[in-house]
Amino acid sequence: MMRTSTDRAASGVMSTGWILLGLLALLLGLVVMNLLWGARMLSPVWLMHMFEPPGDRHELLVLQARAPRVLAGVLAGMALAVAGTVIQALCRNPLADPGLLGVNAGASASLVTLSLLPFASEWGVFWQALPGALLASAFVYALSQVQSALGQAQAPVRLILAGAAISAVLGAYVQARVLLNPQLFDGFRYWMAGSLSGLGWSEVNALWPYLVPAGLMLVLLAPGLNLLLLDRSTAVSLGMSLQRHTILAWLSATLLCAAATSVVGPLAFVGLAAGHLARAWLPMSFRVLLPGAALAGGILVLSADLLARVLLPPRELLTGIMIALLGAPFLYSAARTAGEYKAS
Amino acid sequence: MMAPRFPLWRLGTLTLLAPNRAAVLTAVLGTALVMAAMLLSVTLGEPGLSLSGLVQVLGGEASPYDHWLLWQSRLPRALCALGVGVALGVSGAVFQSLSRNPLGSPDIIGVNTGASAGTLLWLMFLPAWPMFWGGLLGAVAVLVLLLPGLERSGRLSRNLVLMGVAINAFALALVQFVLTLVQREQAQQMLGYLSGSLAHKDWQQVALIGMTLAMALPGLLLLSRRLTLLTLGGEMAQGVGAGVRQTRLVALLLATVLALGAVLCAGPVAFVALVAPHLARWGSHSPALLRSGLIGALLLLGADTVTLMLPGVHRLPVGVLTALLGGSYLAWILFAGLFRSRSQARAGL
């Protein structure tokens, strides 16, 4: 690791910029591919007319129906990736991921509970998902704090297993609710697996008002998060209020997860993989890591969605399934070489 | 292990089957408890069969409906619960002692999910052939993927379980893939099966789980002393003279067969395989295969009886109940494990 970190220092700011630019270009390319490809392939010419009223040109209709889906996918992927990266740093755990830690399962559980209660059925999906996500993440946070207080920070696997336990319990609860209410089953069958299909502008509008403030908050917190990567006592002696930073960062990450989950369903692995890739490619500073991870998350979700739509036409696989099929082997190989969170 | 042995019972390897007073006591007590639980499971719940009704059926003077209810509905169901519980309990004990991790049970590391994914895919693409082969393929695939984790003696327990979590997620995605491709009614039926259900069992399924137990249980009981040695760690066990690799492989295979039989009979019933060995380990350190099996049977019979007694039109599959209970138990031991001393925590959870 020493070698790579000196390499990074030598190659300096330029290579970081190039990597971010490359990621951005890849993301934009995928956006275009997602707009044009699918059960019906469109010619790039139509992109020129993207913002015109469609009239009776059905190609334009298809294109304009795909646009919100792509946008929601990018936003959700970015949110989950940023949340994953932040949670990985806060837990000092390279394997942390909102999906694996049970935060997404908490959101699903409170969604299926509150959507059937009379007083809460009028709330938006986001507000129905938020309490569960907050509870689950508070639980995980408490667990990780106790863990580091007892000096077991070097056992990253235990936290993941605790998350697996939480996910399993909440998953069973969701399953029980869904099995007992056939009408609920109908609506949630696709949402439960994580799906981008059928997303429209209303979903995009439900997503960004929560993502933008939470993302901005994390950007503002980035210098503090950098200090958090150091030894705790060093961070305190450098004049940082540890508690406030940690809690604010954790809250923002949870908000990101809840918003993304309420719209696209519980997607696992995006945070894990994006955080991992960002740390492998970029210098260990959150001012660079967060945008890098966000781009990687958008790329992951869009490529999974693209695969899901073009693999078995005219059928469409669910994006969440595709992501799990791609992400699980990633966790498998990471597990074979599981190490500690590298803060250098 | 340390209790004085019955001299009469020391007949070569058979000592393992009835080694000491505690084991005899366990066997007698366990059989009595299981019989009582079976009786409760047959007589409680809706549609009911009262105790006097049961006596009447056994005396051959009951209505055809009561007769049908006992012999074709409740008894096969109770026997399935018994067999599946034993299979899951024993299989969980073997997996946990092999991975030296209390969390390394077949339902967490993906054996159950793999078997059900295999079954569903088989049903989708090759419906003409018996689905048994699909389950077998799925379980064996998971086993093959887990093997690299077993070979490394040093970091065995940690990574084996985590690799299992990844495999489990992959298999779960496959299951969901199948669920979204089929019609709504079929999907709901599959979801019922996938949460583990003991509804609509007949004698065919009883025969299936009985054959599974007959195939795998004797071998595992013969291996149980070696398995105890393996919990000491590979190097230690090798020093005492246990063939580490062969024992591990054979035990893994047999435990997988048990888990597979349970999945084929009742679907992936969650957490019984995780919790039963924990309860069986209470008060001793050995994996105690038979005790774990008995506790598994009691747990499943009890949970199934509770689901039969729950009100409501839509009956909850028993697996949902075991997942809720077992998952809470798991969360509790994880928290309790944190507060134990650090050395213990490193060795155990």
Give the model confidence (pLDDT) of A191-235 as tens digits. Answer: 777 778 778 888 888 888 889 999 999 988 888 888 777 766 776
State the DSSP string of A84-150: HHHHHHHHT-TT--TTTTTHHHHHHHHHHHHTTSTTTTTS-HHHHHHHHHHHHHHHHHHHHHHHHHT
Query: Is the pLDDT reported for residue A95 higher than 80?
Result: no
Domains, chain B, with CATH or none: 34-347 (1.10.3470.10)
- Residues in A closer than 8 angstroms to B159, CB to CB, are 157, 335-336, 338
Chain B residue nearest residue A99, CA to CA:
B169
Distance from CA of A51 to the nearest CA of B (A): 34
- The C-alpha atoms of residue B43 and residue B47 are separated, in whole angstroms, by 9
- Residues in A closer than 8 angstroms to B188, CB to CB, are 179, 182, 185
Name the residue facing B342 among A152, A175, A336 (closest C-beta).
A152
Residue A299 DSSP SS3:
helix
User: Residue B116 phi/psi, 5° resolution?
Assistant: -75, -35
Yes or no, beta carbons of B149 and A336 under 8 Å apart: yes
Query: Is the pLDDT reported for residue A304 higher than 80?
Result: yes
- The C-alpha atoms of residue B327 and residue B271 are separated, in whole angstroms, by 7
Per residue in B206-234, pLDDT (tens digit) is: 999 999 999 999 998 888 777 777 666 65
Q: What is the pLDDT of residue A244?
A: 81
User: From the CB of residue B306, how many other CB atoms can be counted at a distance below 10 Å?
Assistant: 16
Distance from CA of A141 to the nearest CA of B (A): 13
From the candidates B190, B316, B320, which should be mutated to test the interface with A, based on the most A CB atoms within 10 A?
B320
Q: What is the pLDDT of residue B90?
A: 93
Domains, chain A, with CATH or none: 15-97+194-336 (1.10.3470.10)
Q: Per the structure block, which two tokens stand in for A52?
A: 């015109």
Per residue in B239-251, pLDDT (tens digit) is: 665 567 778 788 8
Q: Are A177 and A112 in contact (CB under 8 A)?
A: yes
Q: What is the mean pLDDT of residues A49-78?
A: 81
Query: Is the pLDDT reported for residue A289 higher than 80?
Result: yes
Per residue in B64-73, pLDDT (tens digit) is: 777 787 888 8
The per-residue b/e assignment along A43-75, b for 16 or more CB within 10 angstroms, e otherwise, is eeebeeeeeeeeeeeeebebbbebbbbbbbbbb
A5 against A283, higher pLDDT: A283
Per residue in B149-202, pLDDT (tens digit) is: 765 444 455 567 778 888 988 998 888 888 777 777 777 777 777 778 888 888
Yes or no, beta carbons of B176 and A166 under 8 Å apart: no
Q: Is the backbone peptide bond immediately before B47 cis, with ω within 30 degrees of 0?
A: yes
From the candidates B162, B167, B313, which should be mutated to test the interface with A, based on the most A CB atoms within 10 A?
B162
Query: Is the pLDDT reported for residue A112 higher than 50?
Result: yes
Name the residue facing B324 among A172, A269, A330 (closest C-beta).
A172
Yes or no, beta carbons of A169 and B176 under 8 Å apart: no
- The C-alpha atoms of residue A20 and residue A189 are separated, in whole angstroms, by 37
Yes or no, beta carbons of B166 and A157 under 8 Å apart: no
- The C-alpha atoms of residue A153 and residue A96 are separated, in whole angstroms, by 13
Name the residue facing B320 among A155, A176, A330 (closest C-beta).
A176
- Residues in B closer than 8 angstroms to A165, CB to CB, are 327, 330-331, 334
Contacts of B33 (CB under 8 A, 6+ apart): B294, B298
Chain A residue nearest residue B149, CA to CA:
A336
Max mean pLDDT among A55-69, A74-88, A101-115, B266-280 falls in: A74-88
Query: Is the pLDDT reported for residue A3 higher than 50?
Result: no
Distance from CA of A215 to the nearest CA of B (A): 28
- Residues in A closer than 8 angstroms to B342, CB to CB, are 150-152
Name the residue facing A168 among B314, B316, B323 (closest C-beta).
B323
Yes or no, beta carbons of B316 and A186 under 8 Å apart: no
- Residues in B closer than 8 angstroms to A329, CB to CB, are 166, 170
- Residues in A closer than 8 angstroms to B173, CB to CB, are 320-321, 324-325, 328
Q: What is the mean pLDDT of residues A169-184?
A: 78
Q: What is the pLDDT of residue B259?
A: 92
Residue B223 DSSP SS3:
helix
Tell me, yes or no, if the pTM score tops 0.90.
Answer: no
Q: Per the structure block, which two tokens stand in for B123?
A: 């049903």
Chain B residue nearest residue A168, CA to CA:
B327
